[in-house]
Structure 1
Amino acid sequence: MMVPEITPEEQAVLDKALYDALNPLASAIRSRQTGLPADRAWDADPVEVALSVLAAWKVVDGEVRRLAGRAAATAGSYGASYEQLGAVWGITRQGARKKWPDAVGRAASAVADTRRLALFGGTAELAQAPAGVWSWTGKGADGTSGRAAEGARHATAEEAAAHAGAFLAEHALGADGRS
């Protein structure tokens, strides 16, 4: 996969969205640094105003790195390789491994993690495979057993729990003791 190019129109929309998201943060930082109320924070020394904007961009940069790491881990949990992650990011396989060392699961002999869920009178067990993907098995309050669909690959425990919870809700007992 090649690094995607964006059109000038997409770039303009992205720039506007980023500035719109940045402005409240920059204003809050400026107000704290200058002691001026938020509606007068622009009245501060121009150097201080520019530095507060830079400080806000630093915060955004950190958040983008965190969210990119989460996206890389999600892609890895679905089976993406470091070569694929690197290609999307415009870096080598080795660069991707260094940037996101835990994004791609390593083979292991046992389940990586398990969790238990009790809802609607039933129970489910969430299990993380060594590759990082999650599945579930459960038994509803009505006695019906269920499991993640064959080949289902849930990227997070929360996603698996949502599917297991839907199953448990479907197989809950009503107030009269029947499903």
Structure 2
Amino acid sequence: MPEIAPDEQTALTKALGEALHPLAVSMRSRATGLPEERMWDADPVEVALSVLTAWKAVDLEVKRLTAIAAGTAGAYGANYEQLGAAWGITRQGARKKWPGAVTRPAPDPGRENLALDLFGGTAGLARVPSTGHWSWTGEGADGVRGASAPDAACATREEAAAHAGAFLKEHSADRAGT
């Protein structure tokens, strides 16, 4: 697993601190009812705990985004050994961390139909017998249905999966109702 360089670590720490500040300010102001300019006028322990609370919100969001990334990799065919290697843990550790990330075995080259479950939606991939090309149909989490255009046949199963995945992401659960 590649290590982060010292200058990258410094830049990351700075960027995270800058990103955290507005969240910490907003959360502290909401919790205390104080205007933003006075909300840090408090016992240092209370202030430090407010910052810790903001970091907890960031930690939960990173875990959510990590699970989405693992699920996406699994949907495209990554196995738990690969997920574990990317995260620096064992295959068993990856299976425990993201139990639903790998939902199907490695694709059998002979299979003609496949299904994707991504971002709260589903899509089916099918090989067109007459041409050997691949097509997809799907329904996003927001209820929108889509399909590959008849004149835009995909040469490979992976290409069809990429187009279907992009559609499902665009119509994801995060976007539903917005």
Q: What is the TM-score of this pair, normalised by structure 2?
A: 0.67
Q: How many residues align?
A: 142
After TM superposition, the structure 1 = structure 2 runs for residues 51-70 of structure 1, keeping only pairs within 5 Å, are 51-70=49-68
Task: Give the alignment partner of residue 126 of structure 1, picking from 118, 137, 142.
Answer: 137
Is the 2:123–2:164 Cα contact (8 Å) retained in structure 1?
no
**Stretches of structure 1 lacking an aligned partner (at least 5 in a row):** 116-123, 129-134, 140-144, 163-179
Q: Which residue of 1 aligns with 2:32?
A: 34
1:138 equivalent to 2:145? Answer no
Task: Give the alignment partner of residue 94 of structure 2, picking from 87, 92, 96.
Answer: 96
Q: Which residue of 1 aligns with 2:46?
A: 48
Q: Which residue of 1 aligns with 2:84?
A: 86
Q: Which amino acid is 2:161 matched to?
A: H
Residues 54-110 of structure 1, C-alpha deviation per residue, up to 9 Å, x if partnerless? 000000000000111111112112221100111121111011011111211314986
- Report sequence identity in percent: 57
What is the CA-CA distance between 1:154 and the residue it aligns to?
A: 3.5
Q: Which residue of 1 aligns with 2:153?
A: 147
Aligned CA-pair RMSD: 3.0
SS in 2 for 1:60: helix
Stretches (4+) displaced over 2 A: 107-115, 135-139, 145-151, 153-158
Q: Which residue of 1 aligns with 2:175?
A: none
- CA distance 1:156–1:148, change in 2 (3 Å): closer
Structure 2 Cα separation of the partners of residues 73 and 155 of structure 1? 14
Q: What is the TM-score of this pair, normalised by structure 1?
A: 0.67
Structure with bigger gyration radius = 1
Structure 1 Cα separation of the partners of residues 155 and 89 of structure 2? 35
